[in-house]
Structure 1
C-alpha cells in the first residue's frame, strides 16, 4: 500500500552557505559516529586496568560494532517508511544516552552493555547521514559535498586514537564518551530546528524484524564461541558446543525467514553472484585486519615498548594515511581503465607483508620502522576497502544496489567486531601463558593466513565490467543509494 504526499522533495538550490547550514549538523554526527570506531583503541589498557578486567576490555569495541552492524541494516529502511528525520533524531538520542552511561559505568559488564546501546544509535547514524544528504543535495551537485564529508570521516578516524590517548594520559578515559555529548546535543538541536524533510511518498512494507533479531542472535553466538573457545571454556564444553549449535540453528532459521519475507533485510538472490560473495569475503577480511592493527598496535606500544597512550595513538595515523592514499590512487585509475581485479590481489600481498613485518616487532623496534610497516599495511587495506565495495555493488542489479551495499557494510562491521573479539582472545591467552612480545607476535602473525584467503578469493574473482554508474561512484561523481 502506498501513501502519497504532495510535499516536494527538499532539494536545496542557490547559495552554498544555505546548504552548509543543514550539512554542518550532519557532519557533526558523522564525526562522532566515526570517532567512536577508533577513540577507544588506545584507551583499552587504561580502561581495563581501571575497571580491573583487562581480559574483557576488547568487548568494549566488539559490543559497539555488533549492535551497530544490526541497526545499520534496519534503521535505513525505517527511515524510508516513517521519515528519516524522526529516525535520525531517535538514533542521535540513543547514541548520546549510551555515551553518557558509558562514561558513568563503574564496571566492565556495565560499560560493555552501555557501549552496545551506543552502537544501536550509531548504526542509525551511519545509515541515515548519507541518505539525508541525498534528500538535500541534487545528484549533480553532490560530489563536491562528498569530498567534505569524506574529509570529516577521515579526520574522525585519525583523531580517535589521538584523543583517546590524550584523555587517558591527561584527564580520564571517561571523557572519551563525554566528548560526544556537547557535539551530539548541538547536532540534535540543529536538526530539530533546521532540517525539514517530507513524509515518505510510499511505505516500503513491513520491516523484517524477525530477520534482524535472528541475525543479532547468530552474530552474537558466533562471536562468543570463537572468542571463548579454548580460552574461557574448553572447545568440548557444553557452553561452546551449545553456542556452535545455536549458531547453526539461527543461520538456518535466518535463511528460511529471508526466503519467505516480503521485504527481507538480506535478499538471498544476491548470493547467486560469485563476484558478490567473493567481495563479501574480501571486505570482511580487510576490515578484520584493519581493526586488529588499529586496536592492538597501540596496545603493543603501551605494553611492550612502554609508550604513553597518546604516543601510541600517533602510530595509527600512518596506517590510516596509507589506506586513504591507496583509495585516492585506485579510484581515478579504475575510472580511467575500468579494471579493478588487480587491486585486491596487490592489496592482499601488500597487507600480508606489512602485517608479517609488524609481527616481528620487539621492544627495541624503532619508531620509523614501525611507521613504514603500518603505512605499507594501510596501503594494502586501502586497495581492498575501495575495490571490494565497488565490485560487490557492481555485481548487484540496480534495483538491489541499496540492499547490496547494506549487506556489504554488515559484513564489514562483523569483520571489525570479530577482529576485535577473536584476536583479543588470542592476545589474552598469549599474555596469560607467555611473554607479551610473543603474545603480540601471535596476534599479528595470524592476520597473514587471513590475507592468504583474501588472495585466493581475489584470484578467483571474475572481473565484471563496471557499469557507468559504478564508474561515477569510483570517481566520486555519484553516490550509491542508501538502504
Structure 2
C-alpha cells in the first residue's frame, strides 16, 4: 500500500520558498537570516532599557516627579518584564511563536511611543509597564525560537551574537541617551528605537519560518498566572520600597511578605493540579533544570548589580560624568562579549561545555572578590581588569545556562523551561539589586557621618549645608573637603556591596559543578518534534541512554544509571540532549 505524503511534506510543497527543509534542517545562511529579526528585537528591548538611564533625572524633574516616582519608573519596567516572562514562555508552547514575538514587539513599540508623549509620571509609569511586558516576551521568545532552528551543539557559536547585541545595547544605550537628551530632548529617548523595532517586525515576517503547531485543545491556567504574577509582583514591590518608603522590619514589610508567601504557596497547589501549568513543577525533578535555576538567580544578581553599582562607583566615587561612566564600564561588557563569542564557538566545535562553565563560575567569584577591594582611589586600570574578569565569567555562564537546560529538557516543555531560566535570572537580579542597594545606602550614610565627624567645625557646618538633605549629591558641586568624604564613602561602600555578593557567586560555582555532564544534541527542536513517535524510537533511546551516560571526573560530574524513557511519544535520544534526560529524571527522583 503506497504511503501518503506527510503533512509537513505537503505543507512544504505549497510553500517552496520556506528556508528550512521538511525536517527543520537549515543552512548557516538561512539561520543567520532567521536570527536577524530576533537580534534586532533583542537590541531594541535592551536599548530601550538603558537609553533612559542617564536622562532619567531630567525626565522626572521635567514631569514634576519625586523620588518615589523615580523608583517606580525603574521598578515598573523590571516588574512587568519579570512577571510576564513565564507567561510568554507558556504561550510559546501553546500558540504560534512567530506571531507571539511579533505581538511582543508591537506591544513594545506602542509602549515606547506612548511613553514619549507622557505628560506626568503616572502615565510614564503605565507606559513603561507596557514596555516591560513587550520586553519580557522578546527576552523569552528569542531564546525559544533560537532553540527551534539551531541544535544545542551549534547553538554556542550563535550565542555570541546575542552576547554582542547585549553588550552593544548595554554600553551604547547610556551614551546614546545622554547625547540625544542634550541635542533633541528626553522624549526622543523613547522614539529613537521605534524605526529599528518596525524593521525587526518586517524582518521576522519575511525571514523567520517555523512549522505550525499541531491542532490541540488549549488550556490556559488563568488562576495560576494570576497567583504567580500577584505573588512575585508583591515580593518585588516589597524589596523595591523597603528601606526607602518604610523600614525592612515594619508592619508594611510583614504584611507584604506574608501576603506574597501565601499567594505563591497557593500558586504551587494550583500548578500541581493544572493540566497546563504556567510553570510545570515536574521540571524541578530534572537535576539540570533545578541547578540551572539556582545558578541563574545568583548570576542575575551579578549581571544587574554590576551595571547599577559600577555606574554609581564611577560617578560618585570617581567624579565621572554619565557619559564617562559608560565609557569606563566598557571593560566589563568587552569581557562579556569576547568570552561569550569565543567560548560559544569553542563549545560548538568541541561539543563540551562543562569545563568552560566551571571556569566561568570561578572567574565570576574572582571578579567579585577583586571588585570587593574597591576604594575611591583604586587604580582605574586595575578596576578595568577586575571588571573584565567578572564580565568574562558572566559571558561564559549566561547563555550556556539556557543552553544546557534546553539540551536536557523535554521538547514539549522547551518554552516554559527557557522562560523560567530568564524569569529566575531577572527575579534574582531585581531582588538582589534592591537588597544590595539598601546595604549600600546604609554603609554610605554611616561612612559619611564618620567622615564629617573628623572634619574641622567650620567644615562640619559646610557639610550640613551640602549634605543635610540626605539626597544623593552632585560631586562636581561639592567643596573639595566634602568631595573626598563622599567619594571615599561611595568607593568603600560599593566595594563592600561586591563582597556581599561573593557568597552568591560561590553558590553559582557549586551549582555548575554538580550539573550533569549531558552531551549536547545535534538536532534542533523542530527536528525533535518530527522524530516523535517514529517506529523503533524506544530501542534507540535505550541504546543512546547507555552511551550518553558519561563520567567526567575532572569537572566533578556524577555518573547516572542508564534507563529508558517511560513515555514512547517523547523525543528520541539521537539528540544527546533528550536521550539522557530520562535517566537524569529517574536519578533525581
Name the residue aligned to 2:516: 464
Name the residue aligned to 1:326: 339
Deviations 1:240-265 (A, max 9, x none): 11101111101101111111111212
Name the residue aligned to 1:92: 105
Name the residue aligned to 2:500: 449
> What pairs with 1:338-349 in structure 2 (closer than 5 Å)?
339-340=354-355, 342-343=358-359, 345-349=361-365
Contact 1:339/1:465 (8 A) holds in 2: yes
Contact 1:45/1:299 (8 A) holds in 2: no
Deviations 1:36-60 (A, max 9, x none): 3433444444445555534653543
- Higher Cα radius of gyration: 2
Name the residue aligned to 1:353: 369
Q: State the shift of 1:179 in Å.
A: 1.1
Contact 1:72/1:123 (8 A) holds in 2: yes
Deviations 1:410-434 (A, max 9, x none): 1111123224433444455566666
Name the residue aligned to 2:87: 74
Contact 1:43/1:309 (8 A) holds in 2: no
Structure 2 Cα separation of the partners of residues 368 and 274 of structure 1: 41
Contact 1:88/1:128 (8 A) holds in 2: yes
* SS of corresponding position for 2:420: helix
Structure 1 Cα separation of the partners of residues 145 and 234 of structure 2: 34
Structure 2 Cα separation of the partners of residues 324 and 174 of structure 1: 30
- Does residue 414 (structure 1) correspond to residue 397 (structure 2)? The answer is no
Q: State the shift of 1:214 in Å.
A: 1.7
What is the RMSD computed on CA atoms of the aligned residues? 3.9
Deviations 1:291-314 (A, max 9, x none): 121123223323343322222111
Q: State the shift of 1:315 in Å.
A: 2.3
Q: State the shift of 1:275 in Å.
A: 5.0
Comparing 88-97 with 275-284, which one deviates more in the overlay? 275-284
* Distance change >3 Å, CA 68–CA 75, structure 1 → 2: same
Structure 2 Cα separation of the partners of residues 100 and 36 of structure 1: 11
Name the residue aligned to 1:183: 196
Consecutive unaligned residues in structure 1, runs of 5 or more: none
* Distance change >3 Å, CA 450–CA 144, structure 1 → 2: closer
* Distance change >3 Å, CA 112–CA 144, structure 1 → 2: same
Contact 1:315/1:371 (8 A) holds in 2: yes
Name the residue aligned to 1:122: 135
Contact 2:163/2:340 (8 A) holds in 1: no
Contact 1:65/1:416 (8 A) holds in 2: no
Name the residue aligned to 1:221: 234
Contact 2:231/2:259 (8 A) holds in 1: yes
* SS of corresponding position for 2:335: helix
Structure 2 Cα separation of the partners of residues 393 and 200 of structure 1: 19
- Does residue 370 (structure 1) correspond to residue 383 (structure 2)? The answer is yes
* Distance change >3 Å, CA 329–CA 136, structure 1 → 2: closer
Comparing 172-181 with 242-251, which one deviates more in the overlay? 172-181
Name the residue aligned to 2:51: 39
Q: State the shift of 1:352 in Å.
A: 2.0
Structure 1 Cα separation of the partners of residues 270 and 68 of structure 2: 36
Deviations 1:429-482 (A, max 9, x none): 566666444256434523323321331453365242222329999xxxx9999x
> What pairs with 1:21-60 in structure 2 (closer than 5 Å)?
24-51=36-63, 52-54=65-67, 57-60=70-73
Name the residue aligned to 1:307: 320
Q: State the shift of 1:21 in Å.
A: 6.5
* SS of corresponding position for 1:200: coil
* Distance change >3 Å, CA 442–CA 50, structure 1 → 2: farther
Name the residue aligned to 1:277: 290
Structure 2 Cα separation of the partners of residues 141 and 378 of structure 1: 23
* Distance change >3 Å, CA 125–CA 255, structure 1 → 2: same
Q: State the shift of 1:176 in Å.
A: 2.2
Structure 2 Cα separation of the partners of residues 141 and 293 of structure 1: 30
Comparing 305-314 with 238-247, which one deviates more in the overlay? 305-314
Contact 1:42/1:312 (8 A) holds in 2: no
